[in-house]
């Protein structure tokens, strides 16, 4: 199984997860099933469940009856990061949603690549 995480912004919100939780229980189940499929198959998940959007940005294609949902995601080493969730209502993916997913990815990378801070050295009798 491949680990999957939701993108979390600087204030601790998970926008994709929050959007999924606003769906009806039936649609939530359909989306969750496709997220589990991504966890099972990882980068080998084929079309029609996954497709390339732009560069390494991909979309998870979830359908629940007449509703079509897309989750933009990227792979970070051995995990998948779910960046943005939309209900697809037109043929082409809106450029604004693609840009938002790319911005979230850039934010994720910036915060994950911060060098690890070293704690202050011990003072007094604990000093080396």
Q: Answer yes or no: is 78 within a domain.
A: yes
pLDDT digits (tens, 9 = 90+) for 64-111: 989 999 999 999 999 999 999 999 988 899 999 999 999 999 999 998
Q: Answer yes or no: is 121 within a domain.
A: no
Name the least confident of 5-19, 53-67, 94-108, 113-127. Answer: 113-127
Q: What is the token pair recorded at 96?
A: 């604004």
Q: What share of the chain is helix, strand, coil (3-state, %, to 5)?
A: 40, 25, 35
Task: Tell me the CATH number at 39.
Answer: 3.30.2310
Q: How many CA atoms lie within 13 A of 46 on its CB side?
A: 0
Show the domain range for 31.
4-113
pTM recorded for the entire structure: 0.86
Residue 73 CA: distances (Å) to CA of 24, 82, 109, 127:
22, 4, 13, 47
Distance CA 30, CA 93 (A): 20
Split into its structural domains, the chain has a count of 1
Q: Answer yes or no: is 128 within a domain.
A: no
Distance CA 32, CA 12 (A): 21
pLDDT digits (tens, 9 = 90+) for 30-60: 999 999 999 999 999 999 999 999 999 999 9
Q: Answer yes or no: is 86 within a domain.
A: yes
User: Which runs of consecutive H residues, i.e. helices, occur in 1-53?
Assistant: 15-21, 25-41
Q: Answer yes or no: is 70 within a domain.
A: yes
């Amino acid at each position: 199984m491949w680990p999957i995480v939701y993108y979390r912004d600087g204030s601790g919100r998970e926008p994709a997860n929050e959007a999924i939780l606003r769906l009806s229980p039936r649609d939530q189940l359909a989306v969750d099933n496709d997220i589990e499929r991504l966890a099972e198959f990882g980068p080998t998940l084929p079309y029609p469940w996954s497709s390339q959007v732009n560069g390494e940005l991909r979309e998870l294609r979830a359908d629940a009856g007449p509703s079509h949902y897309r989750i933009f995601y990227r792979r970070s080493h051995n995990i998948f990061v779910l960046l943005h969730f939309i209900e697809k209502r037109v043929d082409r993916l809106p450029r604004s949603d693609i840009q938002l997913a790319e911005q979230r990815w850039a934010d994720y990378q910036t915060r994950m690549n911060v060098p690890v801070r070293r704690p202050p050295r011990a003072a007094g009798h604990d000093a080396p």
